């Protein structure tokens, strides 16, 4: 370690490195685009520079300049080249930019190995030294957050200074942030200088790290109690909302990630620094034992969505995250079950799971885990074998979002001649070829085809109770955009193949009178249901549409749409009288409700 390196030398080195980084990015964004036509080349250069300079700045001062440059260059080169390789899944780099998930893998691949590289140089045990890995990982986090906060504070001071000096007609300071060729190198210089100061104050950084870990540990009992309460209530509340919900699975994964962080904070880098309070130790062990349950539920919930609807890049990413979460959870649970030495086993698992995560990020950028190809093949296969209808066929994503594999899948669909819905498929493809927007295609309608929308909705809208018939005027007051949303929900079938909407008709009064309807369809959030009323006029010639209903004893709109619509279609409802409090005077009752 360069502990004897003069303070001023380190400050100058890091400041100049930061300034060079800023100047490089200025040249990349402002100068090179006029000289280089290849967006792919610019992307690779940006990835290399970002990975190289971020790694160099974070390692420099903790390890020697030559070692930092060597590791940063290797990590950056591997990351950038794998990103380049993955970009050839698309013929248009702009579409690759929109996919986002490769860049998440890039960040993991560029940042996670830094702790291993530093441990390799700093510890006699090399990269296998968990204490060094733990210290370096938290040091990187603390120094990154602090230094970037200082850069933000620096620019706030410059801005306020410019505002103050402008009051006396001195307007030149604003040039500092108006000119990118000044602002970017200056930001890098300030960042490097702040990192140099933080390297000098390693005791302060260590104190901040200890403070963060001790504060995190305070959350352990609360999180353990919440997770235990959740698991205890699941059997009594039912599993439909949990297993049938993508967002619920996301909530559990975030909770599982938080639990992993808290357990890691309690275990620390070595037994001497680990949490010693009996409450904290018990909480950490209980949480480690419960963690596989919530992680397993999240995995199952995501798998159910995949079985129902097939793969997409987003679902594949969710499945990968859930798999990682379950691997952490299972290793922690088994570590605790084996008794004494559980902290050492958790540290061992953390080290190798981090290595596995780096490997997964590498595979994500290779053809082995080409999620666009996997998604396109799944989508096309489900359509060809009849598990998916034309209304659910996502032509737009195949052609525009899923790269060359998606285009190849669309070509397979175009080649079909004897599909059971061939006529409807040809119409759908024709709309796409005519330039219909994604918004229109997802609804299976022409953008100007509102009358057709009303007719199609009337044809497929299920009406309950059994035997009820949709009145001719029932849909007349529904706005055009709402008709399209309801139709799209109907066309997006439930898992059992029935339409994804329902209408319940009835008088809703004991004395009969005007008929009313309650309409159910999907909200954009799968955890919610859109509910509206259709109330018949006094002369029974028309219906008035209202987007909301009064919900008693709970908010029905907060129920998952698929489960609620299926319940209505099954006829699992009843018209029941309601008792309302009234003001009685002389035997006559009145109520403020209308």
In a domain, 452, yes or no: no
In a domain, 423, yes or no: yes
Cα(332)–Cα(245) distance, rounded to whole angstroms? 26
Which of 210, 233, 265 is the last residue in one of the domains? 210
Q: 121 and 80: one domain?
A: yes
Nearest-Å Rg of the Cα atoms of the chain is: 30
Cα(50)–Cα(184) distance, rounded to whole angstroms? 13
Nearest residue to 246 (alpha-carbon basis) of 299, 193, 323, 180: 299
Distance of CA 328 to the CA centre of its chain: 19
**Long-range contacts of the stretch 23-26 (C-beta < 8 A, 24+):** 23/181, 23/184, 23/185, 23/188, 24/49, 24/53, 25/49, 25/184, 25/188, 26/180, 26/181, 26/184, 26/185
How many domains are contained in the chain?
A: 4
Up-side HSE of residue 367: CA atoms within 13 Å toward CB?
4
Q: Please, what sign has the CA dihedral across residues 349, 250, 101, 137? A: negative
Q: 222 and 201: one domain?
A: no
Which of 210, 240, 255 is the last residue in one of the domains? 210
Q: Which residues of the chain have pLDDT under 50?
A: 1-5, 445-450, 585, 590, 593-594
How much is the pLDDT for 551? 67
Up-side HSE of residue 141: CA atoms within 13 Å toward CB?
13
How much is the pLDDT for 581? 58
Q: 269 and 285: one domain?
A: yes
Decide: 377 and 405 in contact? Cβ < 8 Å.
yes
How much is the pLDDT for 594? 39
Q: 232 and 190: one domain?
A: no
Cα(582)–Cα(564) distance, rounded to whole angstroms? 32
Nearest residue to 470 (alpha-carbon basis) of 505, 430, 432, 519: 505
In a domain, 581, yes or no: no
What's the maximum distance between 2 C-alpha atoms anywhere in the chain? Answer: 97
The count of other CB atoms within 10 Å of the CB of residue 572 is: 9
Cα(570)–Cα(574) distance, rounded to whole angstroms? 12
How much is the pLDDT for 593? 42
Q: 264 and 137: one domain?
A: no
Q: 247 and 197: one domain?
A: no
Which of 443, 477, 506 is the last residue in one of the domains? 443
Q: 261 and 348: one domain?
A: yes
Nearest residue to 134 (alpha-carbon basis) of 2, 260, 267: 267
How much is the pLDDT for 101? 93
Residue 167 has which token pair? 């009051």
How much is the pLDDT for 241? 53
In a domain, 144, yes or no: yes
Query: CB-based contacts of 128: which residues, under 8 Å, 6+ apart?
Result: 119, 351
Decide: 382 and 398 in contact? Cβ < 8 Å.
no
Q: Are strands 463-464 and 516-522 parallel, antiparallel or unpaired?
A: unpaired
Cα(441)–Cα(68) distance, rounded to whole angstroms? 52
Q: 310 and 199: one domain?
A: no
Q: 76 and 133: one domain?
A: yes
Decide: 147 and 166 in contact? Cβ < 8 Å.
no
In a domain, 448, yes or no: no
Q: 198 and 242: one domain?
A: no
Residue 357 has which token pair? 């995560």
Cα(32)–Cα(55) distance, rounded to whole angstroms? 23
Q: 75 and 187: one domain?
A: yes
In a domain, 585, yes or no: no
**What is the domain range of residue 42?**
7-210
Indicate the SS3 state at residue 390: helix
Distance of CA 51 to the CA centre of its chain: 23
How much is the pLDDT for 513? 62
What does the pLDDT look like over 228-238, one tens digit per residue?
A: 998 888 777 65
In a domain, 579, yes or no: no
Q: 264 and 341: one domain?
A: yes
In a domain, 588, yes or no: no
Residue 280 has which token pair? 């904290």
């Amino acid at each position: 370690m360069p502990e004897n390196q003069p303070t001023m030398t380190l400050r100058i080195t890091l400041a100049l490195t930061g300034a060079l980084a800023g100047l490089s990015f200025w040249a990349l964004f402002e100068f090179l685009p006029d000289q280089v036509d290849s967006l792919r080349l610019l992307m690779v250069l940006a990835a290399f520079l970002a990975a190289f300079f971020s790694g160099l700045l974070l390692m420099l001062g903790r390890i020697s300049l030559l070692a930092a440059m060597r590791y940063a260059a290797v990590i950056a080169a591997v990351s950038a080249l794998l990103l380049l390789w993955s970009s050839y899944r698309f013929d248009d780099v702009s579409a690759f930019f929109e996919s986002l998930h490769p860049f998440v893998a890039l960040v993991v691949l560029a940042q996670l190995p830094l702790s291993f590289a530093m441990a390799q140089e700093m510890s006699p045990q090399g990269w296998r030294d968990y204490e060094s890995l733990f210290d370096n990982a938290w040091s990187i986090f603390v120094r990154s957050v602090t230094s970037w906060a200082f850069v933000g504070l620096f620019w706030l001071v410059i801005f306020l200074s410019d505002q103050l000096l402008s009051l006396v007609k001195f307007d030149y300071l604003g040039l500092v942030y108006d000119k990118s060729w000044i602002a970017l190198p200056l930001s890098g210089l300030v960042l490097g200088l702040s990192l140099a100061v933080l390297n000098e104050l390693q005791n302060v950084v260590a104190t901040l790290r200890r403070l963060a870990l001790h504060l995190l540990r305070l959350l352990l009992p609360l999180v353990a109690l919440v997770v235990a309460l959740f698991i205890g209530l699941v059997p009594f509340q039912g599993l439909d909302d949990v297993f049938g919900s993508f967002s619920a699975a996301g909530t559990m994964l975030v909770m599982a990630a938080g639990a992993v962080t808290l357990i890691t904070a309690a275990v620390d880098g070595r037994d001497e620094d680990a949490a010693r309070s009996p409450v904290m130790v018990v909480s950490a062990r209980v949480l480690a034992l419960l963690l596989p349950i919530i992680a397993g539920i999240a995995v199952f919930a995501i798998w159910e969505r995949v079985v129902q609807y097939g793969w997409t890049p987003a679902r594949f990413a969710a499945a990968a995250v859930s798999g990682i979460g379950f691997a952490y959870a299972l290793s922690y649970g088994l570590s605790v079950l084996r008794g004494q030495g559980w902290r050492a086993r958790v540290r061992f698992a953390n080290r190798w799971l981090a290595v596995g995560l780096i490997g997964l990020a590498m595979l994500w950028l290779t053809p082995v885990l080409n999620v666009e190809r996997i998604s396109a093949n799944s989508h096309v296969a489900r359509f060809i074998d009849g598990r998916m209808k034309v209304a659910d066929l996502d032509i737009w994503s195949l052609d525009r979002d899923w790269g060359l594999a998606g285009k190849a899948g669309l070509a397979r669909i175009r080649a079909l001649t004897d599909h059971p819905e061939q006529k409807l498929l040809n119409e759908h493809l024709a709309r796409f070829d005519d330039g219909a927007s994604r918004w229109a295609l997802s609804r299976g309608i022409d953008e100007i085809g509102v009358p057709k929308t009303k007719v199609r909705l009337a044809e497929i809208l299920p009406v309950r109770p059994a035997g009820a018939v949709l009145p001719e005027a029932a849909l007349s007051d529904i706005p055009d955009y709402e008709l399209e949303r309801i139709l799209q929900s109907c066309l997006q079938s439930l898992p059992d193949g029935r339409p994804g909407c329902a209408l319940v008709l009835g008088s809703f009064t004991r004395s009969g009178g005007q008929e009313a309807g309650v309409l159910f369809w999907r909200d954009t959030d799968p955890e919610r249901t859109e509910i509206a009323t259709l109330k018949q006029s006094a002369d029974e010639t028309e219906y008035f549409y209202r987007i909301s209903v009064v919900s008693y004893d709970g908010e029905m709109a907060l129920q998952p749409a698929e489960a609620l619509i299926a319940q209505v279609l099954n006829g699992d409802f009843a018209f029941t009288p309601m008792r309302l409090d009234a003001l009685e005077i002389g035997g006559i009752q009145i109520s403020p409700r209308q």
